[in-house]
Structure 1
């Protein structure tokens, strides 16, 4: 245990961010956020920007649940950005224009961390010497560039800690879960986040061993909670916004380009569609569409900043279907009114291909570790999407329910990262 400074574990997630500090007893404690909008130790990975004359360059900002409150107070006069971690490894993302100002990924990250520290009730006012940051095994997005993501993370974290270590997120969860075990075991950790699903296989030694955990293999895939949200939007919402429709170009009848719908259903890009160029393109498309009304609905939703209410409605449906066999999806905003009953079996059919690809990623980790299902003693499921019944059923089928453990779905990674930071040499766990 280091004593001259605090070791901090930072689980910067696509949907939520959690921070833990190593304590003097060899454990770790979550940082609880303070204030009227606080939601305990879970800090939403979101930003809100609005114009304010006294602010730096005329643009003020907030983060976490305070960003949501600012947006809800004045949605038409703000820009709400969430899931921006999704673009960390994207070479095609250079900057977002918000109120006429360019923001790179690292700019948004720094602003986010500044507000996170400000809302931590003083617990993060002292700059920690060691910061252990979780990163996915495989980044989300098409053709992700891990080196680019590392460069952007370094810039984002330059003022956050003096020693920064990067550790695969499921290894953080493995370290947290290992603290529960009283005997040696080979464990499989499955981390279902917002942007990625990651697997790590770790051999855990008996308590008191010089090195408690030894990583054997990891694998991952850029499919997780946000992709499941996309499937809901694709089935229930995009057909009402023109997907599958046609437009006229000279004497040809063409299908409306799918890129607009892909952007609309991606929470990291939806807010950025509210710019003059994109809206002008959509208005031209509306003019030439064989059925202009659906495109008009899309324009209205973008112009009136309906991204967050839409995201919230999709999330409520997904969570409800984890508890009941059927639930009603309801959304109403700016000309789009949807009320539809969705059965859990329907949702499971929509994500079936995604689950097959996730299972293949798990098989890749087992193969790398030269371990079969019988050689896994314990399975630890973490991350919000691990609560989806179809995901739990996958592990029940492969391993049997008696070997599966859950708990701390949103916090276990941060706990484990802090524990790694308190070890004599955290670099043994780094990527």
Structure 2
């Protein structure tokens, strides 16, 4: 049943890959904001922006789209454009101050507020941040090698404030997921929530109880790490795709045989980084390397992927292979486009070797959350898993070994956090769930 417009609270799960907005009313009814795109309805809004120039009269004006419409604009590629995705990973980075897009400079908060405006345009009048009780999710630990938490939160507040949400409360993302899960609890319980996003994995230990019908919660401990689904995708790219595009090859220079520099292949960490190679000088350098390479064909394929903007299609193939490995012992990776053809069998056991170090670091972070909470694994009654990466068998096995299969539960991989955040907005005291400013 659709939520009525009166007395709504809004929960916003601004994610690295996708963003979900939920609305809840005072009766506890909750639903995700729906976006209608190409004849279909979507409950997730891709965290992406595409800027392009259009001529108006005698001058140029920069236009912008977000979500799936940004991807449409990027793939059509009819005019010069600038595509930006996963910019949440820069929120806590001191080194990221601004980026120039055509004639304008954009700080992180400018990118985020621009993204939110596109979301409002497509989401309609119910996405009114100035007139609602707003609860916004934030990771336990922001992505990056040395994340600056205060900087990230200042940027969040500035961006959401531009849309009238100066009054918004910020809640750890796994706490939002925990609150959603706790609606079905009918007894006191200590719960571990594991939230696997695109850029970060966050863990919270919560103690839930009910008094006079009201749900009470005590946060016991939190921990997070900047490793999640995107990192697992990159392992497939690094092991399967990059070697077929020249990584590990050699070229001749001044009578010497040298290795092709690996830094070009770091651009595969995000598919949209490949498109940016056109304007960075990297593409010109790749052409020069191809002419000097002992085996130029793989580098020529790399060049074609950049020139023909095949990064998005390539990463869809990578993601499909990762998903297939969650239910099969092996899968065939296939990518084809503009004369580039890459095929390879991937075995789950090999994939698990590639991600083993990442999984170990995630396991250490789970242990840190338990230590921070002052509880043993045996004291956790339920483990609530959310996010697509929770279906990766190596991740699932981690939790089974620590807590037992019978204690694991999960919910919708995209919507549970936003639902929980919106429901927190309907509690008598939302502030007590929030992270201190």
Q: TM-score, normalised by structure 2?
A: 0.90
Q: Residues 53 and 60 of structure 2 are in contact (CA less than 8 Å); yes or no, is this contact kept in structure 1?
A: no
Question: What's the offset of the Cα at 1:238?
Answer: 0.8
Map 1:109-120 to 2 at 5 A: 109-120=112-123
Q: 1:263 matched to which residue of 2?
A: 267
Q: Which secondary structure state, in structure 2, belongs to the residue aligned with residue 173 of structure 1? A: helix
Structure 1: where are the runs of 5+ without partners? none
The residue aligned with 1:153 is 156
Question: How many angstroms apart in 2 are the aligned matches of 1:271 and 1:93?
Answer: 19
By how many angstroms is 1:291 displaced? 3.8
Q: CA deviation at 1:109?
A: 1.5
TM-superposed deviation, 1:154:
2.1
Change (3 A) 1:201 1:126: closer
| 1:151, distance to aligned residue in structure 2 (A) | 2.5
SS at 1:11's partner residue? strand
* SS across alignment from 1:394: helix
Query: Are residue 127 (structure 1) and residue 130 (structure 2) matched?
Result: yes
How does 1:190-209 map onto structure 2 within 5 Å?
190-206=194-210, 208=212
Shift of 1:341: 1.8
* Residue number in structure 2 paired with 1:409: 413
Moved more, 242-251 or 28-37: 242-251
Match status 1:382 vs 2:386: yes
Distance in 2, matches of 1:149 and 1:281, equals: 35
Go from structure 1 to structure 2 and tell me whether the alpha carbon gap of 1:297 and 1:208 turns closer, same or farther (over 3 Å shift).
Answer: farther
State the alpha-carbon separation in 1 of the partners of residues 285 and 166 from structure 2: 46
Distance 1:90 1:288 in 2: 37
Match of residue 16, structure 1, among 15, 18, 21? 18
* SS across alignment from 1:25: coil
Q: How many equivalent pairs are there?
A: 429
SS at match of 1:52: strand
Q: Residues of 2 paired with 1:261 and 1:93: CA distance?
A: 21
- What is aligned with 1:323? 327
Partner SS state of residue 115, structure 1: helix
Distance 1:142 1:247, change over 3 A: farther
Residue in 1 that maps onto 2:97? 94
1:283-322 aligned at under 5 Å gives the runs: 283-322=287-326
Q: Distance in 1 between matches of 2:78 and 2:317?
A: 16
Are the structure 2 counterparts of residues 148 and 126 from structure 1 closer, same or farther at C-alpha, using a change threshold of 3 Å?
Answer: closer
Deviation at 1:232, TM superposition (A): 0.6
CA distance in 2, matches of 1:330, 1:374: 43
Pairing of 1:295-374 with structure 2 (within 5 A):
295-374=299-378
2 CA distance for matches of 1:204 and 1:52? 54
Looking at structure 2, the residues matched to 203 and 211 of structure 1 have their Cα atoms a distance apart, in angstroms, of 11
2:47 matched residue in structure 1 = 45
Q: CA RMSD in A?
A: 2.5
Unaligned runs of 5+ in 2: none
| 1:17 to 1:126, Cα distance in 2 relative to 1, 3 A | closer
Structure-2 change in CA distance of 1:38 and 1:12 (3 Å):
farther
CA distance in 2, matches of 1:292, 1:350: 27
Distance 1:75 1:394, change over 3 A: farther
Q: Secondary structure, in 3 states, of the residue corresponding to 2:432?
A: helix
Are the aligned partners of 1:97 and 1:272 in contact in 2 as well (CA < 8 Å)?
no
**1:89 deviation in Å?**
1.8
1:18 Cα shift?
A: 0.5
Q: Distance in 2 between matches of 1:131 and 1:273?
A: 39
Change (3 A) 1:248 1:425: farther
Q: Distance in 2 between matches of 1:94 and 1:181?
A: 45
